[in-house]
C-alpha cells in the first residue's frame, strides 16, 4: 500500500514539475514595456551669451588642425593667410594649426574673380565649413574652405581672419569693431567672447559618446523581444560597442554592434531572447557596461524597461 502511495506522489511531482517547466518556457501574452528614465546626463554646457554662430557646439573633432594653401594664391595672399593662422593660434589656448599638402582640414584657394555685393561693395573673401556631421550635441566640422579674392589692403590680416572665424562657425556680428562685421575695416579685431567660446569648446576632450537612442521591448513570459538603436554622438569613432541585457542582476546576453562612426548608429532587432525566469519586473540595458570605452558622458549608457501595467 505504501509503495502505491509513493508511486502516486512521484507521479504527481513529475506532473507538477512538467507543468512548471512548460509554464516557464511557453511564451506568454505579449506585454508592452516602458522606459523608466533614471539617468542624469552630465554633459558640459557651453554658454554662447548671444555670440553669433551658424550652429552651437560646432567644432572640429581634434585640436591640431591642418590647412592647405593652393598654388593659386600669390605670395602676398599666402603670407597673409599664414599670419591669420598664426594669430588665431596665438589668441586661443586649445587650437593649433599645421600646413599639409593633401587631405587638409581647411583648404585655402585664391581667385581674382570679382564678387559684387551691391551698393559698391565686393567680397574680398569667402569662408566656412563645407562638410558637417550634424548631431544633437555636437556638429562636427569635417571640412572647411576659404576663398581669397583680393590682396590684403590692411597691415593686419582682417579678411583672412574673418574667413577663418567663419570656418570655425562664427557668423557676422553687429559690432562694427568686430572682425566678424560684414564689411571690413583695418582697425577691426577679434572680440574676447569669440576667443573664450573657442577655448571652452575645444577644452572638451575629443571622445566618443555612445548611447541608446531608441528602445522598444515586449515581454512574452520568459522571452523578450526588443528593437534598440545605439548611436555615437561623440567626437570620435568607436569600435567593439557592446549591449548587455541584465535581468534580476544577471547578465543574460551581450550583443556586439562592432564599430560605430561619429554621427552614425546601428539598429538591432532581437526576438525570443530567453531569460532566466518569467518572473521579472524590469530589464536593464547597458551600452558598454564595463566602461571599456572612454566617453564624453558615461551617464547616458543605461536604460531600464519596466512592465507597462506596473
Q: Which pLDDT score is estimated for 310?
A: 45
Task: State the pLDDT at residue 63.
Answer: 97
β-pairing, 58-59 with 139-148?
parallel
Q: Can you give the pTM of this predicted structure?
A: 0.83
| Strand partners for 280 | none
CA distances from 44 to 23, 200, 203 (A): 50, 10, 11
Domain locations in the chain?
26-44+207-307, 58-202
DSSP annotation string for the chain: -HHHHHHHHHHHHHHHHHHHHHHHHS----EEEEEE------PPPP--TT--BSSTTEE-SSSEEEEEE-TTS-HHHHHHHHHHHHHHHHH-SS-EEEE-SSS-SEEEEE-----EEETTEE-SEEEEEEEEEE-SS-EEEEEEEEEE-S---SSS-HHHHHHHHHHTTB--BS-TTBTTBSS--TT-B--HHHHHHHHHHHTS---B-EEEEEEEEEEETTEEEEEEEEEE-SSS-EEEEEEEEEETTEEEEEEEEEEE-TT-EEEEEEEEEEPS-S--SEEEEEESTT--S-BS-GGGSEEEEEETT-
The pLDDT score that the predictor gives to residue 116 is 41
Beta strands at 64-69 and 106-110: parallel, antiparallel or unpaired: parallel
Specify the pLDDT at position 204. Answer: 93
- φ/ψ bin of 173: left (φ > 0), alpha (ψ from -120 to 50), beta (otherwise): beta
Q: Among candidates 178, 169, 121, which has minimal Cα distance to 149?
A: 121
Q: What is the pLDDT of residues 233-270, one digit of tens each?
A: 999 999 999 999 999 889 999 999 999 999 999 999 99
What pLDDT is recorded for position 173? 94
pLDDT at 260 (0 to 100): 95
Pick the CATH number of 58-202 from 3.40.390.10, 3.40.50.620, 1.20.1250.20, 1.10.4080.10: 3.40.390.10
State residue 124's pLDDT score.
67
188: left (phi over 0), alpha (psi -120 to 50) or beta: beta
Query: How much is the pLDDT for 2?
Result: 67
Which residues of the chain fall below pLDDT 50?
A: 5, 8, 15-24, 26-27, 116-122, 310
- Which set of grid coordinates corresponds to residue 39? 539617468
Q: How far is it, in rounded angstroms, from Cα 202 to Cα 200?
A: 6
The architecture that CATH gives domain 26-44+207-307 is Sandwich (2.60)
Amino acid at each position: 500500500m505504501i509503495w502505491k502511495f509513493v508511486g502516486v506522489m512521484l507521479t504527481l511531482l513529475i506532473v507538477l514539475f512538467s507543468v512548471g517547466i512548460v509554464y516557464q518556457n511557453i511564451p506568454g501574452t505579449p506585454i508592452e514595456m516602458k522606459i523608466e528614465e533614471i539617468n542624469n546626463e552630465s554633459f558640459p554646457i557651453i554658454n554662447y551669451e548671444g555670440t553669433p554662430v551658424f550652429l552651437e557646439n560646432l567644432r572640429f573633432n581634434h585640436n591640431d588642425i591642418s590647412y592647405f594653401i593652393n598654388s593659386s594664391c600669390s605670395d602676398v595672399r599666402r603670407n597673409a593667410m599664414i599670419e591669420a593662422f598664426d594669430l588665431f593660434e596665438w589668441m586661443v589656448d586649445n587650437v593649433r594649426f599645421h600646413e599639409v599638402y593633401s587631405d587638409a582640414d581647411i583648404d585655402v584657394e585664391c581667385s581674382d574673380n570679382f564678387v559684387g555685393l551691391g551698393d559698391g561693395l565686393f567680397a574680398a573673401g569667402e569662408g566656412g565649413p563645407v562638410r558637417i556631421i550634424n548631431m544633437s550635441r555636437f556638429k562636427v566640422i569635417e571640412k572647411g574652405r576659404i576663398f581669397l579674392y583680393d590682396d590684403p589692403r590692411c597691415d593686419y590680416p582682417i579678411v583672412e581672419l574673418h574667413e577663418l572665424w567663419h570656418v570655425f562657425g562664427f557668423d557676422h556680428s553687429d559690432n562694427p569693431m568686430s572682425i566678424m562685421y560684414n564689411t571690413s575695416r583695418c582697425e577691426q579685431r577679434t572680440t574676447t567672447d569669440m576667443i573664450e567660446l573657442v577655448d571652452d569648446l575645444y577644452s572638451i576632450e575629443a571622445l566618443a559618446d555612445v548611447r541608446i537612442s531608441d528602445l522598444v521591448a515586449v515581454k512574452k513570459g520568459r522571452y523578450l523581444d526588443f528593437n534598440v538603436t545605439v548611436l555615437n554622438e561623440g567626437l570620435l569613432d568607436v569600435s567593439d560597442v557592446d549591449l548587455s541585457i541584465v535581468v534580476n542582476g544577471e547578465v543574460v546576453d551581450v550583443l556586439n554592434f562592432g564599430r560605430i562612426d561619429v554621427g552614425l548608429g546601428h539598429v538591432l532587432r532581437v526576438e525570443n531572447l530567453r531569460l532566466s525566469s518569467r518572473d521579472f519586473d524590469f530589464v536593464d540595458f547597458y551600452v558598454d557596461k564595463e566602461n571599456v570605452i572612454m566617453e564624453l558622458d558615461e551617464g547616458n549608457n543605461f536604460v531600464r524597461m519596466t512592465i507597462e501595467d506596473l
